[in-house]
Amino acid sequence: MKKRQILSILGIVFLFVFIFSSCQKVCTCKHWVQGVEEKTYTVPLARGEKKCSEKNTVVVVGDEKTGIECK
């Protein structure tokens, strides 16, 4: 009986960990300077943000990107 209780508790814990860890979305962002990709990194969405594109700050001047582009 005790073994079954422990397995039930572990199952519930793993379920909660899976549910709450999958809620946070991570964006992959690229840092562009004069059309050259400098760096790629990941950033979690902040509260209130729904899409990774909300983090974009890219400006195109003369066919060259400068800023941050997130997907």
The string of DSSP codes covering 36-67 is: EEEEEEEEEPPTT---GGGG---EEETTEEEE
Q: Which pLDDT belongs to residue 24?
A: 66
Taking the model in full, what pTM does it have?
0.61
Give 61's strand partners. 64
Mean pLDDT calculated for residue range 11-25: 72
- Phi/psi at 43 (nearest 5 deg)? -140, 135
Q: Which pLDDT belongs to residue 41?
A: 96
